Amino acid sequence: MKKGLAFVVLVCAPAWASIGSSAAPQDATAVSQQQRNKAVARRVFEEIFNQGRFQVADEIYARDFVNHGLHRDASLAEDQAAARWEKQALPDLKMTVDLMVAEGDLVTVVWRAQGTNTAAASPLPATGVKVELKGITVWRIVDGRIREEWSSFDLLRVVRQFVDQLKWWLIGLFCAVVVLLWGAATWVRNLRRAPLPAKG
């Protein structure tokens, strides 16, 4: 019995080894491709958003890149214009990766953005408001370049942060507008009541 088992092991061992070794390179290739895709994703955060090196977009994104928005798609030019605006409004913008997962040609990133609105970016004046935002982005990366993007984040939270930090300024502005409107209305009313000069 022991000899028969030893014979089976000796005969089958090379076949099992060849099966295991042929599967390993494919798995290693898939893993290394996913690592390369993650490296491309990291460049977006580190080089474009954190360092403001927008020229590297030509190395990172495919020419036919599409950002799939909630209501409409955006081209690479539109996507990068938005990134430039964000960096202009928040010069100290810092984006960090909380979680990154890659599978196939998709990379999913949970990210956090922090910055201070210390520079004007039309129509937004410099307000000094500190902004913190969390979001998630899924990229499809083919041949080392990002071809598609799906992102989601809470824009209402950003608006709330502006309102919370500027509420007294906004209340003061509202009061000034009310006083000006009241003054203008009073002036117009007084003009209407004033007697017309008598004709000689």
pLDDT in tens, 11-46: 454 544 444 444 445 577 777 999 999 999 999 999
Give pLDDT, residue 164: 86
Same structural domain, 47 and 100: yes
Same structural domain, 60 and 101: yes
Cβ distance 158 to 90 under 8 Å?
no
In a domain, 189, yes or no: yes
Same structural domain, 129 and 188: no
3-state helix, strand, coil in the chain (%, to 5): 55, 30, 20
Closest to 129 measured CA to CA, from 174, 97, 170: 170
Same structural domain, 187 and 133: no
- Distances from the Cα of 35 to the Cαs of 24, 32, 105, 112, 165, in angstroms? 16, 5, 11, 21, 41
Q: What is the DSSP letter of 124?
A: B
Whether 148 shows a pLDDT value over 90: the answer reads yes
Same structural domain, 159 and 148: no
Distance, CA of 162 to chain centre: 18
What is the domain range of residue 168? 155-193
